Structure 1
Amino acid sequence: MLFSSVFHSIYLIGFLNTWIFCLITTFVSWSYEQFGIQTGLIYGSYHYTKYLGIKVGDVPILIPIAWYMMIYPSYIISNLILVGRPIASNQRKILSLSLVGSLVMTAWDLVLDPYLSGPTVRAWVWHAGGIYFGIPLQNFFGWILTTFTIHMMYRVYESSIIMESKDRARKSYPLILPVLGYSAMCIVHLIPGEPKELRMIGPIIMGIPVILALRRFIRDS
Structure 2
Amino acid sequence: MAEATLPARGPVQRRLDELVAENRFVIAVVFPAVGAVTLLASAEGLLPEPLAFNPYFLLVGIAVMRLPLVAGVAPLVTRRVAAGVAVLCAYTYAIEAVGVRTGWPYGRFEYGVDLGPMVADIPAALPLFFLPLVGNAYLLGLLLLGDAADRAAVRLPAVVLAVVGMDLVLDPAAVSLGFWTYAAGGAYYGVPLSNYAGWLLSATVAVVILDAAFDRAALLARLETCRFALDDLVSFVLLWGGVNAYFGNWAATALALAYGYGLWRADRFDFPSR
TM-score by length of 1: 0.77
Q: Is the 8 A contact 2:66 2:232 kept in 1?
A: no
Alpha-carbon displacement from aligned partner over 1:129-180 (angstroms, at most 9, x marks no partner): 110001001112222211210111232344xxx67836834743x25x3334
Q: Does 1:146 align with 2:213?
A: no
- Relative to structure 1, the CA distance from residue 47 to residue 95 in structure 2 (aligned partners, 3 Å threshold; closer, same or farther) is farther
State the Cα distance separating 1:19 from its structure 2 match.
2.1
CA distance in 1, matches of 2:134, 2:67: 13
Contact persistence 1:53–1:61 (CA under 8 A): yes
**Mapped partners of 1:78, 1:163: distance in 2:** 11
Q: 1:124 to 1:166 in 2, by over 3 A?
A: closer
Partner of 2:19: none
How far, CA to CA, are the matches of 1:104 and 1:133 in structure 2?
A: 19
Q: CA distance change for structure 1 residues 28 and 94 in 2, over 3 Å: closer, same or farther? A: farther
2:69 alignment partner in structure 1: 5
C-alpha spacing 1:7/1:208, structure 2 compared with 1 (3 Å): same
Preserved contact between residue 37 and residue 45 of structure 1 (Cα < 8 Å): yes
1:65-123 superposed Cα distances (whole Å, 9 cap, x missing partner): 211222211111122233359xx6x5xx33432221121122221121112122xx311
SS of 1:52's equivalent? coil
Matches of 1:43 and 1:65 in 2, distance apart? 19
**Where does 1:67-216 land on structure 2 (aligned, <5 Å)?**
67-83=130-146, 93-118=151-176, 121-158=177-214, 165=218, 168-169=221-222, 171-172=224-225, 174-175=226-227, 177-192=228-243, 193-196=245-248, 197=250, 198-204=252-258, 206-207=259-260, 209-210=262-263, 213-214=266-267
Structure 1 outlier segments of 4+, above 6 Å: none
Give 2:22's aligned residue.
Answer: none
With 95-104 and 14-23 compared, the bigger mean Cα shift is at: 14-23
Supply the AA of the counterpart residue of 1:202.
A
State the Cα RMSD in Å.
Answer: 2.8
What letter is aligned with 1:69?
P
Alpha-carbon distance between aligned partners in 2 of 1:167 and 1:135, rounded to the nearest angstrom: 35
Residues 1:184 and 1:40: Cα distance change in structure 2 (over 3 Å) = same
Q: Match for 1:194: what amino acid?
A: Y
Gapped runs of 5+ residues in structure 1?
Answer: 216-221
Q: What percentage of residue pairs aligned between the two structures are identical?
A: 20
Residue 143 of structure 1 aligns to which amino acid in structure 2?
W
Which stretches in structure 2 are left out of the alignment for 5+ residues? Answer: 1-64, 269-274
User: How far does residue 51 in structure 1 lie from its aligned partner after superposition?
Assistant: 1.8
Q: 1:60 deviation in Å?
A: 0.8
TM-aligned CA distance change 1:71 to 1:163, over 3 Å: closer
1:24 Cα deviation from its structure 2 partner: 2.5
What's the secondary structure of 1:106's corresponding residue? Answer: helix
Query: Whose Rg is larger?
Result: 2
Residue-by-residue CA offset, 1:11-61 (whole Å, 9 max, x unaligned):
2x2343442342132111211111122121211111223421222222211
- C-alpha contact 1:24 1:154 (8 A) present in aligned 2: no
Q: Distance in 1 between matches of 2:165 and 2:115?
A: 22
Provide closer, same or farther for how the CA distance between residues 209 and 137 of structure 1 changes in structure 2, counting only shifts above 3 A: farther
Alpha-carbon spacing, 1:3–1:49, altered in 2? closer, same or farther (3 Å)? same
What TM-score, normalized by structure 2, do the two folds share? 0.63
Q: 1:49 to 1:170 in 2, by over 3 A?
A: closer
Cα displacement string for residues 175-194 of structure 1 (whole angstroms, at most 9, x for unaligned residues): 5x333431331111133433
